[in-house]
């Protein structure tokens, strides 16, 4: 199968967009076979989507993906192009987008959060629907606030604010040190303690709360002894007010555990059903708020936890 290559700019420059990173060619599979003919009509019928940024691309990805979810059945092939912070790199990207557009049935969609006026003007010349997320909102804000924006690059996800960066790292270290009940030290520092039977989503939710929101989050598994007696683990009993419970659908938990330990009692549907039933009874008896995590993303679970516990994010 052929590919379209994102060419390396003639001069990769320095800084976060390193020479090493710039030298790696990005490939889009399935557009051309040798001889220049389309070899995958179904794939080319997809909408090509580009998230372009002079920083990490996180903001463009987040807002772009949020908008695209509103279109049921839309098939897309997504590419993130970060650190496009010079005219030279912008021209290379435009050439890349134009080439892809020439091989596709539909115009590509470009979501851009680039700040530099020259770069944005170059990107607008691409044969694509160019959605300038920065320009659209900043102009409105400038009018409302009565002040011109700085047009500074990399502020949303840069490392300029040392205090916020250090707070986030401290939260991550805390989450990893206390993961799955590994440590009971400094539990009084926890903003929230997630409790649940094994494999209900405790760890990823804690890590997300730490990394994205700078919150000190830890988690504990509920053992068979805890579930039989319907009591919190001893080390958590004086911290019940910090606890938040998770449950899941028994069939789904059975599936997840089977992937980890197939054929075991731990993974059996009967055991999963028992643990979840007892966990819910424990939460109700101890007055602990809880949610069913079965059909929820990590982001959704984290948001519900924060709302229910009255927590506010510490970093941005």
Detail the residues annotated as belonging to a binding site: 196-203
Cβ neighbour number for residue 34 with a 10 Å cutoff:
8
Written as one string, the DSSP assignment of 251-297 is HHHHHHHHHHSTT-TTT-HHHHHHHHHHHHHHHHHHT--EEE-TT--
203 vs 208: CA distance, rounded Å: 9
CB 134 within 8 A of CB 153: no
Q: How far is CA 268 from CA 110, 224, 255, 257, 262, in A?
A: 47, 14, 9, 8, 9
Cα–Cα nearest to 108, from 97, 121, 119: 97
Cβ atoms of 279 and 297 within 8 Å: the answer is: no
Annotated binding site for ADP: 196-203
Six-digit token string for 182: 């590994």
H/E run at residue 209 = helix 202-213
Q: Say how far apart CA 314 and CA 272 lie, in whole Å.
A: 36
The CA distance from 119 to 103, in Å, is 25
Q: Using CB atoms within 10 A of its CB, is residue 293 exposed (0-12), middle (13-18) or buried (19+)?
A: buried
Helix (H) or strand (E) holding 175, with range, is helix 162-177
């Amino acid at each position: 199968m052929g590919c379209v290559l994102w060419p390396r700019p003639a001069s990769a420059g320095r800084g976060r967009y390193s020479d090493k990173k710039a030298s790696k060619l990005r490939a889009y599979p399935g557009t051309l076979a040798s001889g220049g003919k389309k070899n995958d009509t179904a794939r080319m019928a997809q909408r090509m989507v580009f998230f372009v940024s002079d920083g990490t691309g996180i903001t463009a990805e987040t807002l772009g993906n949020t908008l695209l979810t509103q279109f049921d059945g839309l098939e897309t092939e997504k590419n993130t192009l970060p650190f496009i912070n010079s005219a030279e790199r912008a021209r290379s990207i435009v050439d890349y987008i134009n080439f892809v557009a020439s091989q596709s049935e539909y115009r590509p969609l470009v979501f851009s959060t680039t700040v530099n006026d020259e770069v944005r003007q170059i990107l607008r010349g691409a044969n694509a629907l160019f959605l300038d997320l920065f320009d659209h909102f900043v102009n409105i804000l400038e009018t409302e606030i009565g002040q011109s924006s700085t047009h500074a690059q990399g502020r949303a996800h840069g490392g300029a604010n040392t205090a916020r960066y250090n707070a986030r790292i401290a939260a991550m270290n805390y989450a990893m040190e206390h993961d799955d009940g590994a440590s009971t030290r400094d539990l009084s520092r926890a903003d929230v303690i997630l409790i649940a039977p094994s494999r209900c989503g405790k760890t990823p939710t804690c890590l997300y709360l730490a990394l994205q929101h700078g919150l000190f989050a830890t988690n504990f598994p509920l053992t068979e002894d805890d579930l039989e007696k319907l009591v919190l683990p001893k080390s958590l009993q004086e911290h019940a007010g910090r606890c938040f419970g998770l449950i899941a659908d028994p069939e789904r938990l059975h599936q997840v555990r089977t992937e980890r330990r197939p054929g075991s009692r731990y993974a059996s549907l009967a055991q999963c059903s028992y643990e979840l039933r007892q966990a819910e009874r424990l939460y109700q008896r101890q007055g602990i708020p809880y949610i069913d995590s079965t059909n929820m993303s990590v982001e959704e679970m984290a948001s519900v936890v924060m709302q229910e516990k009255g927590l506010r994010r510490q970093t941005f």
